């Protein structure tokens, strides 16, 4: 991994590559955080985050947009891998994308009737079936909580649903 990082720092001098506790792209300070772990998965993750950087991915507004960006970043990672003589395992990519799909599925499931819906905003959902509304956290690496939005001022405070 050290030789790859050396090449990436040379090829992308405008980006910072920083050891961290998780692998992620920060558009605010143009840095890619990576985890020092043995094996190819850590290398694939760095190339994936570099894909986000090259594609200039910033924030996302909807779940679908987030998933699209993840797919595009893995596509770019495959291109980069060819350049650096690395082969990315497609099963690994699908497992990563499945983690997003699972996260999105939990967020988009109506806490009242179980119908799957789409986000109205990055944090708010509204059920097509029963018209319930709920908010969710933007944090992807944490448990998915859905806070139901109450409809009347006399209702009980929002309850946490999970």
67 lies in some domain = yes
- CATH number for the domain including 60? 1.10.10
128 lies in some domain = no
70 lies in some domain = yes
> What pLDDT digit, counting tens, does each position of 106-160 carry?
889 999 999 999 888 878 899 999 999 998 877 655 444 445 665 544 444 433 3
The two three-digit tokens of residue 146, written as one number: 């859905």
The two three-digit tokens of residue 72, written as one number: 């595009």
- Mean pLDDT on 66-84: 96
6 lies in some domain = yes
Residue 20 pLDDT > 70, yes or no?
A: yes
Is the pTM of the predicted complex or chain greater than 0.95?
no
Question: Among candidates 97, 44, 96, which has minimal Cα distance to 68?
Answer: 97
Domain that holds residue 91: 2-107
Backbone angle region of 59, left / alpha / beta, with phi > 0 → left and psi within -120 to 50 → alpha: beta
> What pLDDT digit, counting tens, does each position of 44-65 carry?
999 999 999 999 999 887 888 8
The number of distinct structural domains making up the chain is 1
* Rounded CA separation 39/86 (Å): 12
């Amino acid at each position: 991994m050290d030789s790859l990082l050396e090449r990436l720092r040379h090829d992308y001098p405008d980006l910072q590559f920083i050891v961290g506790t998780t692998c992620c792209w920060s558009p605010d300070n143009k840095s890619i955080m990576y985890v020092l772990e043995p094996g190819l998965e850590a290398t694939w993750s760095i190339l994936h985050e570099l894909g986000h950087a090259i594609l200039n991915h910033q924030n996302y507004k909807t779940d679908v947009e987030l998933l699209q960006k993840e797919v595009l970043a893995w596509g770019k990672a495959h291109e980069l891998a060819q350049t650096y003589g690395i082969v990315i395992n497609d099963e690994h990519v699908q497992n990563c994308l499945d983690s997003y799909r699972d996260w999105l599925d939990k967020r988009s499931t109506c806490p009242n009737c179980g119908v799957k819906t789409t986000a109205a905003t990055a944090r708010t959902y509204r059920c097509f079936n029963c018209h319930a509304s709920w908010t969710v956290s933007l944090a992807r690496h944490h448990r998915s909580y859905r806070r139901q939005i109450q409809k009347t001022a006399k209702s009980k405070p929002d309850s946490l649903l999970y």
